[in-house]
A and B are shown apart, each in its own frame.
Chain A
Amino acid sequence: MSGSEKCALARSFRIYMSLTRQDVEKIAQLARLSITEPELPVYVTSLSSIVDFVAELSRVDTGSVEPMAHPLEGQQQRLRPDVVVDHDNHEKYQRNAPSVQADLYVVPRVIE
């Protein structure tokens, strides 16, 4: 099955609606991304085709299957001794900052 056939199939099942202009505006707002007016219809089309494509998963029977979050599940999350190992590198790190004053990152005023 080709990608477009899969999309058509997913659409015919009508499980998920393709995205609207308003959907994409909302997603962009949640993701803190500015999208320009000419970009918007392009994203509506491409994101809809991706969403339709991955909707194929809904047809798989996953009844009692446990979700898998990590490829090496047998591994325990390690803990390390609670001692300070990091050094103060703020001067070096802040060289990459767009705006710094008195060792602090500067952003537009947030409290009136």
Chain B
Amino acid sequence: MLHTLSISELSAHLAARQVSSVELTRHFLARIERLNPALNAIITLTAEAALAAAAAADHRLAAGERGALLGIPVIHKDIFCTDGVRTSCGSRMLDNFIAPYDATVVARLKAAGAVMLGKANMDEFAMGSSNETSYYGSVKNPWDITRVPGGSSGGSAAATAARLAPYVTGTDTGGSIRQPAALTGVTGIKPTYGRVSRYGIVAFASSLDQAGVFAHSAADAAAVLEIMSGFDPLDSTSVDAPVPRYGAELAAPAAAGGPLAGLKIGLLREFFDGLEARNAALIHDALAVFRSLGATTREVSLPHLPLSVPTYYVVAPAECSSNLSRFDGVRFGYRCAQPKDLLDLYKRSRGEGFGAEVKRRIMTGTYVLSAGYFDAYYLKAQKVRRLITDDFRTAFESVDLVIGPTTPTPAFKLGAKLEDPVTMYLNDIYTIGANLAGLPGMSVPCGFVDDLPMGLQLIGPHFAEGKLLNAAHRFQQATDWHAHAPRGYE
């Protein structure tokens, strides 16, 4: 079955002409048609353009060209601008917005011969942890359609878990790749801030936003990240540093003391406070696997980490209120009917175009930045952000990477946390720290609780994506949690 093959296997099949890109594309389009109605993971299907791109990829393959992603289908989170294709960001505000250019991530993958099948559902403007704030309705978790897939990249995660594409792009501002990856049993990586260009990604919180990828294994994620990453003059915070050959690093032969000999892993003490015993046991089982592979483990403490949620819910809304001021009903996006004056046009276009959670975040941000409150909230949060970052720096003086659970619990029921925003926010307690410090983070499947997948999170120092991917890859060679598919989607 084509949807069970890895990216390298698909690439080999395409190179050997055992399958064409058009056949592969038709296979995944048929799966989307059959399986997506129950999931609502895909909100725009670009079947015609996909078949044309696949035919073009087949020409390149026939001419002898080779590439890790050439002719392989992809789905993009609907936060990435796609030239000529609606880019809604899950919002009524952009329901009619046809992007006039490609995001750099999209352009890079397109140049590599990726075939876009469509766009994935998401929390509105990437604000949410359950994919229930989308204007296009909630996404269902393929492991149990009465549960959430996580958010904000919930459509990307559900599409990956349901094998609707070999890999799917996402973005992560406070956990929006790692948390849904954990809740849907797939592999997800958020690289270092600045590693992947933010150009053409609808901005939420500019000092935290970073793009990454969902895939079925660390090896697949490595192949994609290698192509997504790299310097982009169009993003002022893009980092001008060479991109390592992540894929090649994973293929390196194992050292004498085991494939992870010499690797020092820190277990995050704060992540186990109040964690249910069955969930903690899965992490300890994973640690035993890492030790069997030659790694050493020790406990590390990040004393300020419990403050990451309140810090984030000052910094992110502040940046969001500033970024989303561009939606004014004048140049693009939703405009209210019959505005009586300019102020009315602004207020009603924004009031009617944005959903409840987005308005809540804009107002939180407006409040913490307003005269008289700036020092008490925003400046204070920026100071605590440094304390959290310093904790990580200290930890990385004694260990190479830190691990812990990705989420406190497996996927929760649809609607369970909609009433109280603070309860919803606390779901991101383990993932936010990496965003505040700009660190690379990754989630890999590590077992099941009540038949629902749980994720193991790995966080490394800046630009340690290679180390994370390698540790995750060796873990996946020794375990098969990542190979499980939800029933009905095998």
Could you tell me which A residues sit within 8 Å of B by CB distance? Answer: 3-4, 7, 16, 19, 23-24, 27-28, 30-36, 39, 42-43, 46-47, 49-51, 53-58, 60, 62, 65-72, 75, 77-78, 80, 89, 92-93, 95-99, 105, 107-110
Contact = CB atoms under 8 A, between A and B. Distances in A.
Contact of A54 (B313, B335, B354): B313
Contacts of A69: 207, 382
Of A23, A24, A65, chain B has the most CB atoms within 10 Å of the CB of A65
B239 interface: yes
B439 to A, nearest CB: 8
B374 to A, nearest CB: 11
B383 A66 contact: yes
Contacts of A65: 383-384, 386-387
Given A50-B313, A53-B313, A78-B236, A62 B351 contact: no
- Sorting the interface of chain B by its residue count into under 10, 10 to 19, 20 to 34 or 35 or more gives 35 or more
A62 B330 contact: no
A89 B325 CA distance: 22
B440 to A, nearest CB: 11
A34 B96 CA distance: 21
Contacts of B435: 71
Given A50-B313, A57-B381, A68-B385, 17 more contacts: A30-B370, A34-B351, A46-B360, A49-B421, A50-B364, A54-B314, A60-B307, A62-B384, A69-B382, A71-B437, A72-B194, A78-B240, A96-B98, A96-B100, A96-B332, A105-B330, A107-B342
B146 interface: no
Contacts of B438: 71-72
A33 B363 contact: yes
A33 B350 CA distance: 6
A87 B328 CA distance: 24
A27 B386 contact: no
A51 to B, nearest CB: 7
A97 B239 contact: no
Contacts of B350: 31-34
Contact of B386 (A36, A67, A96): A67
A110 B389 CA distance: 47
A28 B363 contact: yes
A96 B339 CA distance: 18
Given A50-B313, A96-B100, A32 B343 contact: yes
B383 A108 contact: no
Contacts of B343: 32
Nearest to A7: B422
A29 to B, nearest CB: 8
Nearest to A64: B383
Contacts of A58: 376, 380
B420 A3 contact: yes
B366 interface: yes
Interface string B360-378: 1011101110100000110
A57 B387 contact: no
B236 A77 contact: yes
B250 to A, nearest CB: 26
Nearest to B98: A96
Nearest to B210: A71
A110 B342 contact: yes
Contacts of A95: 98, 100
B284 to A, nearest CB: 24
A107 B330 CA distance: 7
B487 interface: no
B100 A92 contact: yes
A75 B387 contact: no
A26 B190 CA distance: 37
A28 B359 CA distance: 9
Given A27-B370, A62-B383, A71-B207, A108 B348 contact: no
Nearest to A60: B384
A109 B239 CA distance: 44
B443 interface: no
22 contacts: A24-B363, A32-B328, A32-B343, A33-B347, A33-B363, A34-B348, A47-B364, A51-B367, A54-B310, A54-B368, A54-B377, A66-B383, A68-B385, A68-B389, A69-B382, A71-B438, A77-B236, A78-B233, A78-B240, A93-B331, A98-B330, A107-B345
Contacts of A24: 363
Interface string B64-107: 00000000000000000000000000000000111010000000
Interface string B420-443: 111101100000000111110000
A96 B331 CA distance: 7
A55 B373 CA distance: 11
Given A66-B383, A67-B379, A108 B342 contact: yes
CB-based closest 8 A-B pairs:
A71-B438, A34-B351, A67-B382, A98-B335, A96-B332, A62-B383, A68-B386, A34-B347
A93 B101 CA distance: 9
A110 B342 CA distance: 7
B209 to A, nearest CB: 11
B380 A57 contact: yes
Contacts of B97: 96
A64 B436 CA distance: 19
A75 B237 contact: yes
A97 B332 contact: yes
B311 interface: yes
Nearest to A15: B376
A81 B351 CA distance: 41
B237 A35 contact: no
